[in-house]
C-alpha cells in the first residue's frame, strides 16, 4: 500500500457551466449528465439523460466509461461511477469529473468506494469548515489523500463492497415485507376483535 493524493493518480475537471436553464431537445446531438442522474448506489444512470443542441463542446467536458462524477455541492460529497459508455455526453457543473491517469495501479471502482469512506469524508468535511456554502473546490479534491493498496486488494475490496451493498438491499427488502406482513396481521386482529364485540 502507498499513500498519495488524487492529483497524482487522476485528473479533476470541472463540469460545463450552463448560463441558462437547459433546453431539452428530443433530437439533440449532446447528452448532459446532471446531479439527478447520480444514483444512491454511487453509479450513474445514463438511460434517460437530457439531450440538447450544442455546438462543439470542448473535449475536456465529455464523459467516458470509468469516469467518476463527484458531488461538489450539498451535504453529501461522494462520487458516482459511469459503468457504461455514455455516448456523446458532457458533464454539467457543479459536478466534478475524476478520470484515472494510472489505470495500471488504480481501479476507478476502488477510488469511487474510497471517497465514501470515513478518512476521505473527514478530509472533505474539514475543507468545508467555516464556509457558508457546502462546496468542495476542484483544487481541494485534487489534494485529497488516498491510500492505494495492490490491484489484487483493490479488486477484493470492490467485490466485497458490492456484496455488502447487495446484502443490505436484500435485508432492507425483507424488513419491509416483514413489516407489511405484521401490519396486515395486526389489522386483521383489530377487525376480528371489533367483530367479536358487536356479535
107 shares a domain with 32: yes
128 shares a domain with 96: yes
Please report the pLDDT score of residue 44 as a whole number: 96
C-alpha 112/C-alpha 114 separation (Å) is: 6
167 shares a domain with 86: no
114 shares a domain with 165: no
Q: What is the total count of domains within the chain?
A: 2
Does pLDDT of 79 surpass 90?
yes
- Band of residue 186 on the pLDDT scale cut at 50, 70, 90: confident
CATH of the domain at 22: 3.90.220.20
169 shares a domain with 135: no
Please report the pLDDT score of residue 193 as a whole number: 66
Please report the pLDDT score of residue 199 as a whole number: 53
Please report the pLDDT score of residue 38 as a whole number: 95
159 shares a domain with 143: no
Does pLDDT of 165 surpass 80?
no
- By mean pLDDT, which of 44-53, 104-113, 183-192 is the weakest? 183-192
Please report the pLDDT score of residue 130 as a whole number: 61
74: left (phi over 0), alpha (psi -120 to 50) or beta: left
C-alpha 84/C-alpha 104 separation (Å) is: 20
Please report the pLDDT score of residue 152 as a whole number: 95
21 shares a domain with 91: yes
Give 128-147 pLDDT, tens digit per residue: 866 677 889 999 999 999 99
For the chain, strand residue ranges (E) read 2-5, 10-14, 30-33, 50-52, 68-70, 79-81, 89-91, 96-100, 145-148
Residue span of the structural domain in which 80 resides: 2-148
Query: Across all residues in the chain, what is the average pLDDT?
Result: 89
Helix then strand then coil, in percent of the chain rounded to 5, is: 40, 20, 40
175 shares a domain with 141: no
14 shares a domain with 101: yes
85 shares a domain with 177: no
- By mean pLDDT, which of 16-30, 34-48, 133-147 is the weakest? 16-30
Contact 150, 1 (CB under 8 A): yes
- Band of residue 198 on the pLDDT scale cut at 50, 70, 90: low
Amino acid at each position: 500500500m502507498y499513500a498519495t493524493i488524487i492529483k497524482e493518480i487522476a485528473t479533476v475537471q470541472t463540469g460545463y457551466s450552463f448560463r441558462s436553464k437547459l433546453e431539452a431537445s428530443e433530437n439533440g446531438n449532446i447528452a448532459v449528465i446532471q446531479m439527478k442522474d447520480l444514483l444512491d448506489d454511487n453509479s450513474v444512470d445514463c438511460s434517460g439523460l437530457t439531450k440538447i443542441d450544442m455546438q462543439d463542446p470542448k473535449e475536456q467536458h465529455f464523459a467516458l466509461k470509468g469516469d467518476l462524477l463527484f458531488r461538489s455541492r450539498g451535504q453529501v460529497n461522494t462520487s458516482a461511477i459511469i459503468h457504461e459508455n455514455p455516448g456523446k455526453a458532457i458533464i454539467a457543473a457543479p459536478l466534478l469529473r475524476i478520470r484515472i491517469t494510472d489505470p495500471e495501479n488504480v481501479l476507478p471502482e476502488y477510488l469511487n468506494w474510497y471517497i465514501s469512506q470515513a478518512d476521505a469524508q473527514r478530509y472533505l468535511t474539514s475543507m468545508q469548515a467555516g464556509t457558508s456554502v457546502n462546496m468542495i473546490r476542484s483544487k481541494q479534491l485534487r489534494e485529497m489523500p488516498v491510500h492505494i493498496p495492490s490491484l489484487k486488494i483493490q479488486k477484493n475490496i470492490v467485490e466485497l463492497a458490492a456484496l455488502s451493498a447487495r446484502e443490505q438491499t436484500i435485508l432492507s427488502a425483507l424488513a419491509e415485507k416483514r413489516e407489511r406482513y405484521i401490519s396486515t396481521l395486526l389489522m386483521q386482529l383489530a377487525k376480528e376483535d371489533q367483530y367479536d364485540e358487536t356479535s
